[in-house]
């Protein structure tokens, strides 16, 4: 019984930690959106998207409002978005998106993770070309004719549409984000969440032991507070 309790406790703590990390990332997104386009979501499409993502992540409304108010303060420091490129062990390409207010700290930390896990931090442009950048939207499935909507949104750049228990997902090239968001809003279609992905053009399978070495590096990077997203070209085997 003691072990079962400790297992449940550890699992709960891990879930809370992941939630706290998500809220921290959204908080940074709010700051950058407000600094870029103002605190009124009606006139700031980037902020509207972040607020939708906050709702999808169950971030309390008061937390969102507090973050917007704080970001509106001219004394609140903005974050700079920096992309790191490199290779994990066994030649697996990795992209790391960060948002930082201390470039030297972030560079030193990311470099240390690659070094400790036998990876190599690359130069700008060394890995990014191996990934396609895309955007995605999730909407409610209720009352929606998926096939009809997919055909209509082809004209706005949508390339793939998937349905699951959480709604309908639309994928399109990165540069089409704005026009698709605008079209959903003009049709009063509620966007549950939206975001961006970097999808590897090719992926690589590794034996289980080598896969664990790559995952160790990814986990170390993801734990860093300055890191927003980590993308890799490894095909994960369950």
pLDDT in tens, 37-89: 999 999 999 999 999 999 999 999 999 999 999 999 999 999 999 999 999 99
The band of 17, judged by pLDDT with boundaries at 50, 70 and 90, is low
pLDDT value, residue 201: 95
**Digit-coded pLDDT (tens) for 82-108:** 999 999 999 999 999 999 999 999 999
Residue 2 has pLDDT above 60, yes or no: no
Question: How distant, in Å, are the alpha carbons of 1, 170, 193 from that of 153?
Answer: 54, 9, 17
Residue ranges of the chain that CATH labels 1.10.10.200 = 2-72
Residue of 6, 2, 5, 64 whose CA lies nearest to 39: 64
Residue 156 confidence (pLDDT): 95
Q: Helix crossing, 45-56 with 177-186: angle to 10°?
A: 80
Domain boundaries 2-72, corresponding CATH code: 1.10.10.200
Handedness of CA 8, 14, 16, 22 (dihedral sign): negative
**Domain 79-238: CATH architecture, name and number where available:** 2-Layer Sandwich (3.30)
Q: Give residue-wise pLDDT tens across range 169-198.
A: 999 999 999 999 999 999 999 999 999 999
Rg (CA), the chain: 19
Give the tokens for residue 193: 């969440």
Which residue spans of the chain are classified as CATH 3.30.70.980?
79-238
Model confidence at 12: pLDDT above 80: no
Mean pLDDT across the stretch 218-232?
Answer: 94
């Amino acid at each position: 019984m003691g072990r079962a309790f400790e297992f449940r406790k550890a699992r709960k703590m891990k879930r809370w930690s992941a939630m706290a990390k998500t809220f921290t990332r959204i908080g940074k997104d709010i700051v950058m959106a407000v600094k870029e386009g103002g605190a009124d979501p009606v006139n700031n499409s980037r902020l509207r998207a972040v607020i939708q993502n906050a709702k999808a992540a169950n971030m309390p409304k008061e937390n969102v409002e507090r973050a917007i108010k704080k970001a509106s303060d001219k004394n609140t420091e903005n974050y700079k978005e920096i992309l790191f490129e490199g290779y994990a062990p066994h030649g697996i390409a990795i992209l790391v998106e960060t948002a930082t207010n201390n470039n030297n700290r972030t560079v030193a930390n990311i470099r240390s993770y690659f070094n400790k896990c036998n990876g190599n931090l690359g130069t700008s442009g060394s890995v990014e070309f191996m990934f396609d950048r895309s955007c995605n939207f999730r909407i409610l499935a209720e009352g929606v004719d998926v096939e009809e909507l997919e055909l209509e949104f082809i004209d706005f750049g949508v390339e793939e549409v998937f349905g699951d228990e959480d709604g309908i997902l639309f994928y399109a090239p990165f540069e089409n984000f704005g026009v698709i968001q605008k079209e959903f809003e003009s049709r009063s279609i509620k966007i549950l969440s939206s975001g961006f992905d970097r999808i590897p053009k090719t992926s690589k399978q590794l034996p289980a032991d080598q896969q664990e070495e790559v995952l160790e590096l990814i986990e170390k990077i993801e734990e860093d507070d300055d890191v927003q997203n980590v993308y890799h070209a490894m095909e994960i085997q369950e």
